[in-house]
Amino acid sequence: MSTATVNGVTLRYDVRGDGPPLLLIAGLGLSSLAWAAAAPLLAQSFMVITFDNRGTGLSEVPPGPYTIDDLGDDAAALVGHLGLGPVAAVGWSLGGSVLQSLLIRHPRVLTKAVLLNAFPSYTGVQDAWLDAGLALRRAGLDPVSIGIHGMPWAFTPRLLSDHAAAAAQAELARKDPHPTSLAGFEAQAAGLRLYDSRPGLPSATTPTLVLAGAEDVLTPVAQSVEMAELLPNGTLRVQPRGGHGMVVEYLDDTLGAITAYLGAGRGA
């Protein structure tokens, strides 16, 4: 484990593997443990950089709210601190919003981008989903129960209908050695629900794969279509199976799509 202080905030990060640098940006309230299954596989072909966004894991939790541009500036500064840029990057969910901020504000740190189960701005349904999640956390509900309540938004019936598998997935929240605090979650959530990348995407020229799952009900395919249409060098790919958590539920298929896209331009 290593740390770097950027923009006045101390971030925890790890670097593993050998190859072209690849930055992985996790979603709302998630630390770099979100990539626990994916990072070792990607490290077979890339130098993988994972980190805890401000407010999560072992990174600092400064007073909120945090804007998405704050988180994007952190990621850009971390790449600069490591001296590994420019990098390819994958941003999942909130991480996709952070990556859009990088595409718009810090294009020089990027070679290629993958927006994974991402969205350009919140809908009313997403606002209500976030309100419910915040209410459960503020009520002090057990993290496993919170996870089970949120599972239908992340996973498909393939996993949900197997209650033993669903329970095992939910138990990971209890095993997290450094769970995100309510303050950190609230600070990220406040910025996420206000972010709107649409005005800036037409100026974002970095080659970008917009990768969606056909079964994603939290960030539906229509939102990926909207981003791909706004990006001058955007490519849309919709996986036939998988929801918002397809990088967990359909790991091999999701990483296959990511590496096929990133691998095509390694020498560029």
Let me know the angle formed at the C-alpha of 51 by 48 and 55, rounded to the nearest 5 degrees: 165
Which residue range forms the structural domain that includes residue 119?
2-263
* Residue 77 lies inside a defined structural domain of this protein: yes
Whether residue 51 lies inside any domain: the answer is yes
- With both helix axes pointing from N to C terminus, report the angle between 143-154 and 124-138 in degrees, rounded to the nearest 10: 170
**Residue 268 counted as domain residue:** no
Q: Please, which residues have CB within 8 angstroms of residue 256's CB and are 6 or more apart in sequence?
A: none
pLDDT score of 267 = 37
19 Rama sector, left if φ>0, alpha if ψ -120 to 50, beta otherwise: left
- Cα→Cα distances 109→64, 87, 89, Å: 26, 6, 10
Report percent pLDDT > 90 for the chain.
96
What's the distance, CA 25 to chain centroid?
Answer: 5
β-pairing, 2-6 vs 9-16, is antiparallel
Segment 154-163 shows an average pLDDT of: 97
Domain-located, residue 9:
yes
The whole-number pLDDT of residue 55 equals 98
- What pLDDT does 1 receive? 76
Looking at residue 74, its pLDDT comes to: 98
Of the pLDDT bands very low, low, confident and very high (cuts 50, 70, 90), residue 82 is very high
Q: What tokens appear for 39 in the block?
A: 């990072």
Q: pLDDT tens for residues 17-57?
A: 999 999 999 999 999 999 999 999 999 999 999 999 999 99
In a domain, 198, yes or no: yes
Q: What is the pTM of this model?
A: 0.96
User: Which residue's entry shows tokens 């939790």?
Assistant: 61
Kindly report the CATH number assigned to the domain that includes residue 37.
3.40.50.1820
Token couple for 199: 């005005």
Strands of 27-149 (E only): list them. Answer: 47-51, 87-92, 110-116
* Pick from 227, 26, 36: nearest CA to 121: 227
Q: Is residue 169 part of a domain?
A: yes
Say what the pLDDT of residue 264 is. 47
Residue 266 predicted with pLDDT over 60: no
Using alpha carbons only, how large is the chain's radius of gyration in Å?
A: 17
Asked whether residue 65 is domain-assigned, the answer is yes
Task: Answer yes or no: is pLDDT of 265 > 90.
Answer: no
Number of domains observed in the structure of the chain: 1
Q: Which helix (H) or strand (E) holds 116?
A: strand 110-116
Query: Are 26 and 32 contacting, i.e. CB atoms less than 8 angstroms apart?
Result: yes
Is 70 within a domain?
yes
